[in-house]
Chain A
C-alpha cells in the first residue's frame, strides 16, 4: 500500500475531524499487515486515535498568527510499524524541552505526555518552515 496523505485546515474542529480520518487510515495500514481491520476498541486503535488527536490539536492550538494554516498527516508502513508524520507551519518547537505536566493540577500540557505514552517512538524535525512530528507505532504481531 503506498504512503497516504491527508490535509486539513488547522482549526480545533477540523483537527478532530482530520484525526478521526487519519485513525481510519491507520486501520487500513494495520489491515495490510494483519489481514483484518482492528476493532475501534483495539488498544492499537485507541492509542493511535489519541496520539493523532493530541498531535493535530497541538497543531491547531499553537497556530502562529491569525491565519488558519494547514495540517498535513502522512503515513506509511515501515516494516511492521506504522510511521506517521504530522506537519504544520507554526513556529518551531522542541518536544524534548516540554516538561511533564503537573498531574491533576495543570489544566493543560498533557498532550505530548499522552502522545509519548501511545507510541513507540517520537521525533521532531524542522524542514522548509514545516514542523514535522514523526510517530512510530509497531503493529502488534501476536494478537
Chain B
C-alpha cells in the first residue's frame, strides 16, 4: 500500500492505494501519529484506490480515530468501494466514522467539524 498526504488548509488528506492489510497497518498508524505531532487533528482518509482491507486495516483505523478524537480531532472516510462499504457495515465501522462518497463533500464536512471543535 502507498500512503500519500496532502493538505487542504488545516485538513490532512491521507490517500491510501493498494492493499490495506496486516503488513502495512504500522505505516498507517505512524502516519497519523506523525501528523498529530505536527498539530494536524482533522483528517480525511481517501480510500478510492484501496482494493482490499482486512481486519488489521479496520482495527488500525479504530486505533487511529481513537487517538485523534482524544485530541478533539476527527477522521472522515472518503470514497470507499462497495466492497469496503459492506465490510464497514458488517463490522459496524459505519457507526464510528462519517463516510462520504465524494471527497469534496468529505472535506467540507471536515472543515465544519474543525470549526465546531
Contacts and interface: CB of A to CB of B under 8 A. Distances in A.
Is chain B's interface secondary structure helix, strand, loop, or mixed overall? Answer: helix
Contact of A111 (B19, B55, B87, B90): B55
Given A41-B83, A103-B91, A110-B55, A16 B21 contact: yes
A105 B59 CA distance: 9
Interface in B71-102: 83, 87, 90-93, 95-96
Given A16-B22, A117-B90, A57 B52 contact: no
A13 B50 CA distance: 18
A106 B92 CA distance: 11
Given A46-B83, A57-B22, A104 B54 contact: no
Given A12-B22, A13-B23, A101-B91, A49 B52 contact: yes
Contact of B59 (A49, A53, A106): A106
Contacts of B56: 57, 108, 111
A111 to B, nearest CB: 5
Interface string B53-75: 01110111011001000000000
A109 B55 CA distance: 8
Interface in B9-56: 19, 21-23, 52, 54-56
A36 interface: no
A54 B18 CA distance: 17
Contacts of A108: 55-56, 59
Contacts of B59: 106-110
A50 B56 CA distance: 11
Nearest to B86: A46
